[in-house]
């Protein structure tokens, strides 16, 4: 990938990657650092030869691995599922806007793995196979994990909406 | 818990991804969503996440791609320099080890055959001219000549190793 091609790819993909990392980590500064590091590693590696979609998926995989490494360094456990959500709950707000008033509290109560799956599936629109490629999870388990996570966050979102209406 | 996926899930997900929900979907599908808890959850979650993503993208500021490109170039150069220096360091360590081994072997042989440095040194010191010094030097033990030859070979081999390592990179 030459300089101009990278500039175009970066401008198209960086906001999505940054918001993914921000949403999963709940930490704006960390998301900025990991976004930059992801692109640096992407440039220093041999990206997949193919369309932009493959490169984007590869980039998300790098970012996911970096985030996992970061969590491994911060907490004694090495499994993403074992990281308590309180540790990773949003410590700051990433450009708070109206929809986030509802989504932020709900996301803060989700486990990191659940946030990751939900964001990749419902914000980025990745298929189960693509999510498996990015996260390293088994493709067959993603369907069930995602179903459970979706049911959980839907319940939390409805509660949050009801609470907001009650306040209003 | 048993997991049962709804058969309409894929169709609804495609409509949501394409932005066709709810206006671009037929009434049957909309009615289904009202009655199916799983699909209702999916619509709620997808629409909330899509909205959050759209808002986040509008608010984000990222560093310039030129800066990242430059930093990546720098990192690549550093990594290349590190890759080159690694075999050089190994060659240096190897050269030192061989030199030490040769020196140790020489000292051991000198110790076994008796130390005759003192007599040799006095001969060299007594010789006034270069010619006589050379003659005295020729009279050195075979071990010294071996040592010199070994060190010379080592220097040549190290040079070749360094050259090959640099050439490979």
Model pLDDT for residues B28-47, shown as the tens digit of each residue: 888 898 889 888 898 999 99
Q: Is the pLDDT of residue A85 over 60?
A: no
The C-alpha angle with vertex B120 and arms to B119 and B122, in degrees rounded to 5, equals 65
Q: Contacts by B9-16 with C-beta closer than 8 Å and gap 24+?
A: B9/B38, B9/B39, B9/B42, B12/B39, B12/B42, B12/B43, B13/B42, B13/B46, B16/B42, B16/B43, B16/B46, B16/B47, B16/B50
Cβ–Cβ < 8 Å for B54, A98: no
Option in B44, B45, B53 nearest A19 (CB): B53
Looking at residue A2, its pLDDT comes to 84
Nearest to B59 among A95, A124, A144 (CB): A95
Rounded CA separation B21/B10 (Å): 13
pLDDT tens-digit readout, A113-127:
999 999 999 999 999
Tell me the CATH number for domain A3-167. Answer: 1.20.140.160
Asked if this assembly's ipTM is beyond 0.85, the reply is no
Q: Which helix (H) or strand (E) holds A134?
A: helix A128-135
Distance CA A70, CA B49 (A): 25
Q: Which residue of A has its CA nearest to B61?
A: A15
Looking up tokens 């369907």, which residue turns up?
A143
Least confident of A80-84, B10-14, B78-82, B154-158: A80-84
The answer to whether the pTM exceeds 0.80 is no
- In chain A, which residues have their Cβ closer than 8 Å to the Cβ of B76? 43-44
Backbone angles phi, psi at B7, to 5 degrees: -65, -20
Contacts of residue A14 in chain B, CB cutoff 8 Å?
A: 60, 62
Sign of CA dihedral A67, A82, A160, A158: positive
Sequence spans of domains, chain B = 9-59, 84-168
Count of CB atoms situated within 10 Å of the CB of A15:
19
Q: Which chain B positions have a beta carbon within 8 Å of A19's beta carbon?
A: 53, 56-57, 60
């Amino acid at each position: 990938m030459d300089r101009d091609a990278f500039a175009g790819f970066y401008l198209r993909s960086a906001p999505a990657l940054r918001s993914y990392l921000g949403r999963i980590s709940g930490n704006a500064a960390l998301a900025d650092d990991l976004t930059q590091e992801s692109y640096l590693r992407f440039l220093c590696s041999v990206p997949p030869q193919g369309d932009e979609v493959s490169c984007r998926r590869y980039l998300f995989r790098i970012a996911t691995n970096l985030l996992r490494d970061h969590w491994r360094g911060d907490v004694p456990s090495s499994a993403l599922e074992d990281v308590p959500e309180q540790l990773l709950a949003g410590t700051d707000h990433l450009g708070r806007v109206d929809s986030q008033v509802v989504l932020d509290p709900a996301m803060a109560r989700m486990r990191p793995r659940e946030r990751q799956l939900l964001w990749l599936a419902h914000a980025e629109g990745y298929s189960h196979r693509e999510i498996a490629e990015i996260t390293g999870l088994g493709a067959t388990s993603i369907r069930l994990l995602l179903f459970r996570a979706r049911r959980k966050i839907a319940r939390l979102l409805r509660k949050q909406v009801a609470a907001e209406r009650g306040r209003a | 818990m048993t997991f049962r996926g709804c058969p309409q899930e894929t169709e609804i997900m495609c409509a949501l991804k394409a932005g066709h929900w709810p206006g671009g979907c037929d009434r049957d599908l909309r009615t289904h969503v009202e009655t199916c808890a799983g699909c209702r959850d999916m619509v709620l979650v997808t629409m909330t996440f899509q909205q959050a993503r759209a808002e986040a993208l509008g608010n984000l500021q990222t560093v310039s791609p030129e800066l990242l490109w430059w930093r990546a170039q720098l990192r690549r150069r550093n990594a290349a320099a590190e890759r080159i220096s690694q075999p050089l360091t190994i060659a240096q360590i190897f050269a030192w080890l061989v030199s030490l081994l040769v020196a140790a072997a020489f000292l051991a042989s000198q110790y076994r055959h008796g130390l005759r440095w003192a007599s040799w040194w006095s001969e060299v010191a007594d010789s006034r001219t270069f010619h006589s010094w050379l003659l005295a030097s020729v009279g050195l033990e075979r071990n010294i000549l071996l040592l010199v030859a070994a060190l010379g070979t080592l220097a040549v081999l190290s040079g070749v190793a360094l050259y090959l390592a640099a050439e490979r990179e």
